[in-house]
Amino acid sequence: MKGQLLKHEKLAKYTSWRVGGPADQLYIPQDRQDLIEFIKTLPESEPVFWMGLGSNLLVRDGGIRGTVINTKGRLKEMSLTGDGSVYVEAGVPCAHVARFCAERGLIGAEFLAGIPGTMGGALKMNAGAFGGETWAIVNGVDMLDASGNVTHRKSQDFKVAYRSVKGFENEWFLACLLTLQQGDTVASQQKIKGLLEKRGATQPTNQPSCGSVFKNPEGDYAARLIEQTGLKGHAIGGACVSEKHANFIVNTGNATATDIEALIYYVEEKVKQQQGIVLQTEVCMIGVAI
């Protein structure tokens, strides 16, 4: 193996919330082929978890039993194909994809600038921002299975919905092909600049968070419901509902994963009691509680 294998590695430094206990083992692959070779060495029964920028992810304080693959700074290839599609590996940050496409006069990916994760995470959950959704521009994907086999699949092979993608058991996203329209580079770059300014003005981008915690209910906004319930600024331990955007929970400096999870359930319960709506979490919660 050419990558880095770390045993009992604490995951807090790999997550955007800055919390999380140790993984039994963490593998940082050198590149796509090295990752494939590593997967082949694992028993097929081994639990495997994927982590890019560690956003949209709450790792519990007891950590993860199994193997974590970290693609941050790895699986970073991105290129134009012969037919004008954009090839993007799973570890590329979404914001980089938005800029890459704009520079080449391809429009329709600008919204990716507002997603604080990698392409792999965006594919897994059909991430969206500012009215755009990932799978609206996906043409096909490369999938890796637990035996180390790679299969190319078309977007229509998956059942895609709001913040939900259902596909194939024990297969993971390695890369994707994006289909975009030709447009104006300057206009696209200006759109990205405007989206980032809006994000900075409305979201607590200077504090550790996971992005949006809850999905928006149909016809409404989770942030409006939480704010209406009077929960802005409510804290449990070091976890606090953001004063800037109610659908963000921030780590004020000393939060544990237990604090954050408790606050998530508290918000759910209070909104249900006062608004009669059951919020669904967008954030993925994994690992062992302590």
Which are the catalytic amino acids?
A: 163, 212, 282
d(CA 246, CA 26): 33
Helices (H), 70-163: 94-103, 119-125
d(CA 140, CA 146): 20
Residue with tokens 């709506």: 277
Taking the CA atoms of the chain, what radius of gyration do you get in angstroms?
A: 19
Cβ atoms 86, 108 nearer than 8 A:
no
d(CA 91, CA 85): 18
Cβ atoms 172, 144 nearer than 8 A:
yes
